[in-house]
């Protein structure tokens, strides 16, 4: 069982490599042929499986920590709800990509699920920050946290405005443009609590809990990067760079699942 746990990262490393390899070996058979290609099937299925793992491990943590104090369980419930919605969105995309063998329309029902997940993620990250502070594991004073959060928010806006300008100016439909902007903007809203949690995770270094948060936070960071890449590449019409986007999302979901799995192992009897 322990061997299986150690092998879990292969669940996202291998599919990510399959996606990235397209950049170096574009003539390989798995990237060609009738749709869905083998590589597209691997990418789509691995995302669904990894998102299901994110949701499952988060729900398990909520249940395992149900009797713990400080309402930590509800923070995991919020995270689990977000990942469940994300998984439903990815399954909707998978219906088009794998079953129908076409490109998913954009926007589609999948976007409704993805967008609904963000408030859950935000609520979860804020709840973790609150709970850890209440439990005596806060880093810095509340005022320092607000100041840092505000500074991060302003810095993100400074970087994001020029980066998202192509998405705004692109000749896409209103719905497409709105979504191309909405995802990175919603990601930006996550960045401040993510940075504050990174401070906590850094203070936890050397302990087994650090591994949980290093993986979960790195996963969220990859997700934000994936959304920015997706908005940027699709606005510029650079479809050839899709493997980067697929790999970024696969690694993102894999890392979050790995972090949530480690938390489960920590709390196991």
Partner 1 sequence: MAISVSMPTDTVVEALTLTLTPYIGATMARSAVRAQCERLGLDGAVVSGTQAEGLIAKVGNGLNVFLGREKAAVVVEEMRRTLGPSELSR
CB 173 within 8 Å of CB 200:
no
Report how far residue 135's alpha carbon sits from residue 127's, in angstroms, rounded to the nearest whole number: 12
Nearer to partner 1, 14 or 68 (CB): 68
Q: What string marks each residue from 201 to 240 as x (binds partner 1 by CB under 8 A) or -?
A: --xxxxxxxx-x----------------------------
**Region 175-204 residues binding partner 1, contact defined as CB under 8 A:** 200, 203-204
Residue 25 engages partner 1 in binding (rule: CB under 8 A): no
Nearest approach, Cβ of residue 5 and partner 1 (Å): 17
Report how far residue 212's alpha carbon sits from residue 24's, in angstroms, rounded to the nearest whole number: 33
CB 63 within 8 Å of CB 75:
no
The closest alpha carbon to 248, from 89, 16, 40, belongs to: 16
Residue 72 engages partner 1 in binding (rule: CB under 8 A): yes
DSSP string spanning 55-92? HHHHHHHHHHTTTSSTTHHHHHHHHHHHHHHHHHHHHH
Residue 266 engages partner 1 in binding (rule: CB under 8 A): yes
Can you tell me which of 3, 29, 34, 136 binds partner 1, judged by CB under 8 A? 136
Stretch that binds partner 1, among 3-11, 14-22, 112-120, 261-269 (CB under 8 A): 261-269
Report how far residue 267's alpha carbon sits from residue 116's, in angstroms, rounded to the nearest whole number: 29
What residues make contact with partner 1 under the rule CB under 8 A?
Answer: 64-65, 67-70, 72, 131-132, 135-139, 200, 203-210, 212, 263, 266-269
């Amino acid at each position: 069982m322990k061997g299986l746990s150690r092998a879990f990262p292969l669940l996202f490393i291998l599919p990510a490599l399959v996606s990235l390899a397209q950049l170096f070996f574009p003539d390989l058979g798995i990237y060609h042929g009738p749709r869905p290609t083998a590589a597209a099937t691997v990418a789509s299925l691995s995302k669904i499986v990894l998102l299901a793992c994110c949701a499952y491990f988060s729900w398990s943590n909520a249940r395992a920590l149900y009797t713990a104090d400080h309402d930590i369980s509800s923070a995991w419930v919020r995270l689990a709800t977000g990942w469940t919605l994300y998984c439903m969105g990815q399954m909707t995309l998978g219906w088009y990509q794998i079953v129908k063998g076409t490109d998913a329309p954009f926007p589609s029902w999948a976007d409704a699920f993805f967008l609904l997940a963000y408030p859950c993620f935000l609520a979860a990250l804020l709840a973790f920050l609150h709970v850890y502070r209440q439990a005596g594991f806060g880093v810095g004073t509340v005022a320092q946290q607000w100041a840092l959060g505000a500074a991060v928010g302003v810095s993100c806006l400074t970087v994001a405005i020029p980066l998202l300008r192509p998405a705004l100016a692109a000749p896409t439909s209103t719905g497409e443009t709105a979504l191309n902007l909405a995802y990175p903007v919603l990601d930006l809203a996550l960045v401040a609590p993510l940075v504050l949690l990174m401070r906590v995770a850094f203070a936890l270094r050397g302990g087994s809990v650090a591994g949980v948060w290093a993986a979960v936070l790195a996963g969220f960071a990859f997700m934000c990067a994936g959304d920015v890449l997706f908005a940027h590449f699709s606005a510029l019409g650079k479809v050839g760079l899709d493997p980067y986007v697929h790999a970024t999302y696969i690694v993102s979901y894999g890392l979050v699942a790995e972090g949530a799995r480690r938390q489960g192992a920590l709390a196991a009897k």
